[in-house]
Structure 1
């Protein structure tokens, strides 16, 4: 998938990304409350940077994509004890900041790091 231009990504954010992202985050968080839908919840959270600004994720088929990731057990324990509630607070603070001109750069930075806050997943888009 080719990288989109800054103009295309900016238009996406202005017309779609700013309202789609809070919907996606809160839907993912609600899905994550169930054990059965938890994998779908994590997948949706990992799509937040794409929903926000069309940031293209690194291919999961790339063998180098797992480099720099923490051990799965460590990530799972972090998610259970910290990630699920911290990511909810983090994302909603970012969504509030996103509606202000001054807070927008910080909000975009925060939302691009949401997969890491949720499960220590390094998103290299």
Structure 2
């Protein structure tokens, strides 16, 4: 799927993205601190940039997702010890930057790194 126009994405950001992003970020964090709902929380983390700017969600294949990743055990331990609380701080900092037009590039940079901050997951491509 191709990216939406810059005009449409700007209108989305001004009408919805700036206020919906903190809600999604904090909902994702709340889901991530539970064992049962963490998979849904991770999906929401991966959609934060889409909520903010209507950017197309990242896609990956199983082959790509395995290449260059830390082991699942390492990622799980990291998430339990660091990722759940660092995700909260990182994502809310991104949401704070997103409220201002000047801070938007920083917010996008932070959001692009949110999956790694949360669980050491690297997107390829």
Is TM more than 0.5 here? yes
**Where do 1:68-107 residues align within 5 Å?**
68-107=68-107
SS of 1:4's equivalent in the other structure is: coil
Change (3 A) 1:47 1:124: farther
Asked if 1 retains the 8 angstrom alpha-carbon contact of 2:76 and 2:119, the reply is yes
- Spell out, residue by residue over 1:32-61, the C-alpha distance to the aligned partner (whole angstroms, 9 max, x if none): 222111111111111112111122233344
Q: How well do the aligned residues superpose, as a CA RMSD in angstroms? A: 2.0
Matched residue, 1:120: 120
Deviates more, 1:57-66 or 1:40-49: 57-66
Q: How far is the alpha carbon of 1:27 from its aligned partner?
A: 0.8
Distance in 2 (alpha carbons) for counterparts of 1:69 and 1:54:
27
Gaps spanning 5+ residues in structure 2: where?
A: none
Counterpart-to-counterpart distance in 1, 2:71 and 2:57: 20
TM norm structure 2: 0.85
Q: Which runs of 5+ in 1 are unaligned?
A: none
For 1:53-92, what per-residue CA distance to the aligned partner results, in whole angstroms no more than 9, with x for missing partners?
A: 1222333446334333322222111111111000100111
Q: How far apart are the structure 2 equivalents of 1:122 and 1:8?
A: 28
TM-score (structure 1 length as normaliser): 0.85
Is the CA contact (8 Å cut-off) linking 2:60 and 2:123 kept in structure 1? no
